[in-house]
Amino acid sequence: MNNFTLKVFNRASLCHHFEEETFKQMQKRNIKFPTYLSSGQEFISATIAQIMEDKNIEPTIFIQHRGHSTYLSFGGNPTELVDELLGRESGCANGMGGSASIQCKEKNIYGHDGLMGNQVPIGVGSCFASKIPTIVFVGDSAAEEDYTLSSIGWASTKNLPILFVVEDNNL
């Protein structure tokens, strides 16, 4: 196994084990917020994060509601994520965002606010204003929203340094 593969595996393993423990805590009813697991999609964000790190690129990241793996893969603080899921003020969104709206301003990770696919136009606007490489993670059903497709098209016409990652949860 080469060094790149091992690093991706380590990131994905962290994400997978985090999600397994989160599910256990959900079953025990220790987590009161609606929680959106990213189980089965850990290697997507882990691979992209490792590529960005190897290329020394620090992108701005906009995540979807199933964003635990993306948050962790790109260096979000696991303790702050736990605190967020438990509704604590020390959480990554001050205990008010829950699972869907996790963020890490220090790592330029911005969470979802609940409107399906709206991280796409927000990410496009941020990228247009800053010209900083940007990655937008979106679920497969968000493409049905008119503002999502139009934003992707507009980003293309502006030649923005942006990557759209569609995560299909196979449902």
Tokens representing 119?
């991280």
pLDDT, tens only, 93-141: 998 888 888 999 999 999 887 778 889 999 999 999 999 999 999 988 8
Q: What is the mean pLDDT of residues 80-85?
A: 95
Instruction: Tell me: pLDDT of 171 over 60.
Output: no
Distance CA 171, CA 161 (A): 30
Q: What is the mean pLDDT of residues 44-61?
A: 97
User: What 8-state DSSP symbol labels residue 170?
Assistant: -
pTM equals 0.93
Distance CA 4, CA 28 (A): 37
Q: Sort residue 83 into left (φ over 0), alpha (ψ -120 to 50) or beta.
A: alpha
Cβ proximity of 49 and 103 under 8 Å: no
